[in-house]
Chain A
C-alpha cells in the first residue's frame, strides 16, 4: 500500500509523525527510510532527532526554533527528494536460530505446516531490517511470504530474555533485552543488536539485511 502524500501529524507539542501507510508494506517502509535519509542529508533547523519507524518517520523538534506548520512545509519540500534518494549500502549479516520456542507448535498448527517446511520458508530469503526502536536493539525483519502471515497472540508473555526470536504479522523480530511480548516465541539466537558501550549501540539499522539460518 503506497501513499504518495503521507499524513503529517502532530505527536504532542514537540514531535511530528510522517505516516506513509496504515498497513505495513515494503514500499511504505522504503518511503519512510528514504525520507529519514533526506532529512539527515538536508537537515531542517530546529529538528533534534529523526527516527524512522515501520511505515512512518518521527521528527522530534524544538518548538521555540520551528513551529509545527513551518516544519510540515519543510518536510513536504523534501518528500519529492525522498523518492529519488540513494540509501546507503546495507550491512548484511547472518544469524543462526535454534527453533526451540514454546509457541512453535502453535505456529505450525496455525499455518498448517510441518517444522521442516516452516523453517525452510522462514529462512529462504534474506530479510530487510524494517525498523528498530521498539526496545533497545530490537529489530523487526520482513516481510515473509503470505503463507507465513499470522497475527499476534491474544495474551502477552510478561518477560522474554535477550536473544529471543519472535514471529508475527509477517515478520521475525529479535530481542536484545528482556521485554514483554505478544508475539509468538519461535526460538533463540546468540545475536543481539545492542551494545551500550559503543557510541552507536546498534549493529543493524533499519534498511540493513539479515539472513536467518538454523543453528546446528
Chain B
C-alpha cells in the first residue's frame, strides 16, 4: 500500500490506461496515453506495473505519504528532482515515505507518463480507467491536493499495449491519404506536401490546431459532407481552412473533410511536438505504414 499526494499538477494531468476500446459506436474514442510508446516503455521497466498511469504535461510535483513506491517515468525530455536533487529522465526510482518528486518541462516534449509498481485505486468506467476529456468520464484529471492510493498490482498485470510501438525517426510526419483526399484539388494536395505547418498552442487531448503560414488551405470551400468515422491522427480541415490533427480523445464521427491520417509510427512523435515547432508531411502507403509497426 502506498499513498501519493499531488502537490502541483499542470493542465491535462490525467489517469490513463491502455484505452477504452470497442465503444466507437457508443460515441467513445479509446483515449489512452498521448504517447503510447512512452507508456509501453514505462510499463516495461517495472516488474509488476499497475495498469493505470499518470500522464502529465507542463509539470508534476508529488509527495509519497506512505511507501515505499517504485515508479518509472518516460516520454519527452523532462527535468526531475527528488528531494531537491537532480535525477535522470527517463526515470526509474523507488520513493520512500516523505520523498518529494518534482518534474518540470525540459528541452523537448509535451507529454510524460509515470507508471507505478502498484495499482492506482480508481473505479474503471466501461472497463477502463482512461480519462476521456471530451466525454468527461473515466479516471480523472488530477489537481493539486488530490491523493492516489496504490494497491498491490493484480496478478495479470497490464498486458501488452494494443497500439503499435513507434520506431522513432526524424524527418517529415508520415501520413496516409485520408477519406476526402480526392476532394482536394491536386495542386492543393501538392502544396500540402511541400509546405511547412506550425504547431499552435490551441491543442489538447482532442486535437492540435496547426498554423498554415503558406495558406495552403486558404479559400477551401466549406464542404457539406456526410459524417464519417474519425480516427486519431486524422488531419481535418475546418470550414475556414484551419487544419487540425485529431488526437486520442477525438469524436468518433465527424463531418469536416479529412485530408490524411498520421501513421501510428509517427503519432507519438507528433503528440510530443511543442507550439512553434514546424513540421512537414509526407505520404506513405498503408502497406508501408503497417511494415513500420514493431
Q: When the two chains form their complex, are residues B26 and A133 in contact, meaning their CB atoms are under 8 A apart?
A: yes
Enumerate chain A residues within 8 angstroms of B289, measured Cβ to Cβ: 12-13
Query: Could you mark each residue 188-228 of chain B with 1 if its beta carbon is under 8 Å from any beta carbon of chain A, else 0?
Result: 00000000000000000000000000000000000011111
| With known contacts A12-B234, A22-B226, A133-B27, A196–B126 Cβ distance under 8 A | yes
Which residue of the partner chain, among B137, B265, B286, contacts A10 with CB atoms under 8 Å? B286
Instruction: Using CB atoms and an 8 Å cutoff, list the residues of chain A in contact with chain B.
Output: 9-15, 17, 19, 21-24, 48-49, 51-56, 58, 60, 63-64, 67-69, 131-138, 140, 151-152, 176-178, 194, 196, 199-202, 205-206
Enumerate chain B residues within 8 angstroms of A205, measured Cβ to Cβ: 25
Q: Is the interface of A mostly helix, strand, loop or mixed?
A: loop
Q: When the two chains form their complex, are residues B290 and A56 in contact, meaning their CB atoms are under 8 A apart?
A: no
Q: Is the interface of B mostly helix, strand, loop or mixed?
A: loop
| With known contacts A12-B176, A133-B253, A60–B27 Cβ distance under 8 A | no
Q: When the two chains form their complex, are residues A54 and B226 in contact, meaning their CB atoms are under 8 A apart?
A: yes
Which residue of the partner chain, among B27, B136, B228, contacts A138 with CB atoms under 8 Å? B27
Residue of B nearest to A64 (CB): B293
| In the complex, the 10 A-B pairs of residues with the closest C-beta atoms, listed nearest first | A58-B229, A13-B289, A12-B261, A136-B27, A51-B24, A63-B290, A10-B286, A51-B25, A134-B253, A133-B252
Which residue of the partner chain, among A10, A194, A199, contacts B176 with CB atoms under 8 Å? A10
For the complex with contacts A51-B25, A51-B252, A202-B26, 10 further pairs of A-B residues with Cβ separation under 8 Å are A21-B226, A51-B229, A52-B25, A63-B293, A133-B229, A134-B251, A137-B26, A194-B26, A201-B23, A201-B126
| With known contacts A63-B164, A134-B253, A68–B137 Cβ distance under 8 A | no
Would you call B231 an interface residue if the criterion is a C-beta within 8 Å of the partner chain's C-beta atoms? yes
Enumerate chain B residues within 8 angstroms of A206, measured Cβ to Cβ: 25
Q: When the two chains form their complex, are residues A54 and B227 in contact, meaning their CB atoms are under 8 A apart?
A: yes
Q: When the two chains form their complex, are residues B25 and A55 in contact, meaning their CB atoms are under 8 A apart?
A: no
Q: When the two chains form their complex, are residues B126 and A49 in contact, meaning their CB atoms are under 8 A apart?
A: no
Q: When the two chains form their complex, are residues B179 and A136 in contact, meaning their CB atoms are under 8 A apart?
A: no
| With known contacts A51-B24, A196-B126, A201-B26, A13–B264 Cβ distance under 8 A | yes
Enumerate chain B residues within 8 angstroms of A138, measured Cβ to Cβ: 27
Which residue of the partner chain, among A58, A64, A194, A199, contacts B27 with CB atoms under 8 Å? A194
Would you call B150 an interface residue if the criterion is a C-beta within 8 Å of the partner chain's C-beta atoms? no
Complex Cα–Cα for A133 and B128 (A): 18
Enumerate chain A residues within 8 angstroms of B232, measured Cβ to Cβ: 12
Complex Cα–Cα for A68 and B261 (A): 15
Would you call B158 an interface residue if the criterion is a C-beta within 8 Å of the partner chain's C-beta atoms? no
Enumerate chain A residues within 8 angstroms of B178, measured Cβ to Cβ: 11
Enumerate chain B residues within 8 angstroms of A14, measured Cβ to Cβ: 164, 231, 264
Enumerate chain A residues within 8 angstroms of B24, measured Cβ to Cβ: 49, 51, 58, 60, 133
Enumerate chain A residues within 8 angstroms of B226, measured Cβ to Cβ: 21-24, 54-56
Between A and B, 27 residue pairs with Cβ closer than 8 Å are A10-B177, A10-B286, A11-B234, A12-B262, A12-B289, A13-B264, A15-B231, A19-B179, A24-B226, A49-B22, A53-B253, A54-B228, A54-B253, A56-B228, A67-B290, A131-B227, A132-B26, A132-B27, A133-B25, A133-B27, A133-B229, A134-B27, A136-B26, A137-B27, A140-B227, A152-B224, A177-B136
Enumerate chain B residues within 8 angstroms of A19, measured Cβ to Cβ: 179, 228
Would you call B244 an interface residue if the criterion is a C-beta within 8 Å of the partner chain's C-beta atoms? no
CB distance from A40 to the nearest CB of B (A): 11
Q: When the two chains form their complex, are residues B264 and A12 in contact, meaning their CB atoms are under 8 A apart?
A: yes
Complex Cα–Cα for A12 and B252 (A): 14
Would you call B21 an interface residue if the criterion is a C-beta within 8 Å of the partner chain's C-beta atoms? yes
Complex Cα–Cα for A203 and B137 (A): 18
